[in-house]
Amino acid sequence: MSTELLSAVAAASVAFAIAWLASRQRSVAAERARLARFAERVGLEPAQARTSAPRELERVAEHVEELQRRASRTSRVELRLRVAEDESARLRCILETLPDGVLVFEEGERLVAANAAARGLLRCAEEGALSLATARGDAELLAAIREVLRADLARGLCARKVELRGSGERDKAIWRVRALAATGPACTGVSRAVLLLEDQSYEEASARMRSEFVYGVSHELKTPLTSIQAALEMLVEDEEDGSGVSAEDRSRLLHLAHGESVRLARMIRELLELARVEAGLTQVRRERVEMAPLLTELREAHRPLAERKSIELAWEVSPYVPALQGDRELLRQALVNLIGNAIKYTPEGGRVALEATLDGEELEIAIADTGIGIGPEDLPRIFDKFYRASQAQSSRIPGTGLGLPLARYLVESHGGRIEVSSVLGQGSTFRVRLPVLASSAEEPALQLASIGGWSGGAR
């Protein structure tokens, strides 16, 4: 039994050894085949591969690491390039949307870049076809660009102003050609210059308006002050040397001085109110304003003034005129200025009519007169401070030229606007458009009911 057990154990051991040797031979064969394939790829003999495989594998690993490092550097460079491209796109977008023109020149007059505004001024169709020689823009503008380019920019940047006229008499623009920067070949190898074409029309117009405003204020203040001074000087001389001013003349001089002082005070008050509105210092209360009672009140307030000139007042206001959201006193002041002007510039026996209608979501208040009218050349400027139409000046009707500007600002502060139409010698119509409350705009429109005219001409 023991002999058989020993024989079985010996046989099993021999079988295990044979199996292990077979497995080992297969592993060695597989390793040799792998080395042969590696040798074939790297160009070595199989015998060399068996000895140099570890070293070659290290080289391959190092090569792979180097490739990884290069890939990482490439990724960082690509990221930087994308960031630079995005930044360039943003800068190009900014330059293209600038209202002012930007020009870049190299080596003298060689135009290499221009934004949309500059291409429009030079009348270049595409950026790829930029050239001063082929530009079809204004000759004065092109001459100014060349003059700035040829200036000694190293001693100081140069600027020139050019006035470009359009088709209309008042259609003109002021442009300033200015060198922003210049670099010589020593800096970049290429001489470059960057020019800016600035639209100075608004600044020029503002400066002109300021000058006209100062002149208007000085003139309007001087006129009543001169009259007051002259009247008082005559009274003082009579008081000192008894020059014999009659009681009638004394009364006339006193009334003259008083009237001019009232005019002066009114002008200063209107000027201060206008300045406050323009500066945003006037607080506009937002409350419900019933317009029908306000318009009726304005007719009664102007009745005495109209009676003195035998002017018919015809009001057409429905009691269902919609309410507004705003400041009642400021709205009243704006309408007082417009109605007062209509009566002032309408001759005796004329007519002033007011009609209030609902037009969509707006209340339209039309004030029409049969007065002296406004010429077409004066219409664009009647809302300028101190501006008075030529017909008003020639008729010697007193006025400050501040009523209409103040009325416009007060209406605009309520989100509205004033429109005007006029025929010289026949009269004018001022239309005030104001937004109504949402609930009022939804009410059904009702037929206007006249609340009566006056002086026998009521409708």
Range from 151-160, 261-270, 390-399 that averages highest in pLDDT: 261-270
pLDDT in tens, 171-212: 578 888 888 776 655 555 567 788 888 888 888 777 877 777
How far is Cα 298 from Cα 332, in angstroms, rounded to an integer?
8
Fold of 287-441: Heat Shock Protein 90 (3.30.565)
Dihedral sign computed on CA atoms, order 29, 35, 37, 43: negative
How far is Cα 255 from Cα 438, in angstroms, rounded to an integer?
51
Q: How far apart are the first and last CA of the chain?
A: 148
Report, as an integer, the average pLDDT of 408-421: 91
Residue bearing the bigger pLDDT, 451 or 166: 166
Ramachandran assignment for 422, one of left (phi > 0), alpha (psi -120 to 50 degrees), beta (any other): beta
3-class DSSP state of 347: coil
Confidence category of residue 93, pLDDT binned at 50, 70, 90: confident
Q: Are 421 and 428 in contact (CB under 8 A)?
A: yes
Q: Are 408 and 418 in contact (CB under 8 A)?
A: yes
Structure tokens at 309: 């000139």
Supply φ then ψ for residue 141, to 5 degrees: -65, -45
Comparing CA positions, the residue from 426, 433, 296 lying closest to residue 366 is 433
Domain 205-278 CATH class label: mainly alpha
Q: Which overall architecture, per CATH, does domain 98-199 show?
A: 2-Layer Sandwich (3.30)
Please state, for a pLDDT cut of 90, what percent of the chain lies above it.
13
Confidence category of residue 4, pLDDT binned at 50, 70, 90: low
**Dihedral angle computed from the Cα positions of residues 234, 237, 243 and 248, in that order, rounded to the nearest 10 degrees:** 40
Q: Are 365 and 438 in contact (CB under 8 A)?
A: no
Structure tokens at 139: 């000759």
What are the start-end ranges of the H helices in 111-154?
Answer: 116-122, 139-150
Residue bearing the bigger pLDDT, 157 or 228: 228
pLDDT in tens, 287-320: 999 999 999 999 999 998 899 899 999 999 877 7
pLDDT of 443 reads 45
For 406, residues 6+ apart whose C-beta sits below 8 A from its C-beta are 270, 273, 274, 277, 333, 334, 337
Tokens 């000694």 — which residue? 152
Chain mean pLDDT for the chain: 76
Q: Do 205-278 and 287-441 agree at the fold level?
A: no
Structure tokens at 364: 């339209």
351-359 and 312-316 as β-strands: parallel, antiparallel, unpaired?
parallel
Report, as an integer, the average pLDDT of 21-36: 62
pLDDT in tens, 363-401: 999 999 998 888 888 888 888 877 777 666 655 666 667
Between 77-86, 148-157, 307-316, 407-416, the lowest mean confidence (pLDDT) is in 148-157
Comparing CA positions, the residue from 296, 227, 283, 248 lying closest to residue 451 is 296
Rg of the chain over all Cα atoms, to the nearest angstrom: 46
How far is Cα 137 from Cα 134, in angstroms, rounded to an integer?
9
Amino acid found at 194: V
Tokens 């009243």 — which residue? 332
Confidence category of residue 10, pLDDT binned at 50, 70, 90: low
DSSP tally for the chain: helices H, then strands E: 12, 12
115 has a pLDDT exceeding 50: yes
What ranges do the domains of the chain cover?
Answer: 16-96, 98-199, 205-278, 287-441
Residue bearing the bigger pLDDT, 169 or 325: 325
Amino acid found at 232: L
DSSP state of 445: P
Beta strands in 214-279 (DSSP E): none
Amino acid found at 347: P
Residue bearing the bigger pLDDT, 396 or 94: 94
How far is Cα 202 from Cα 383, in angstroms, rounded to an integer?
18
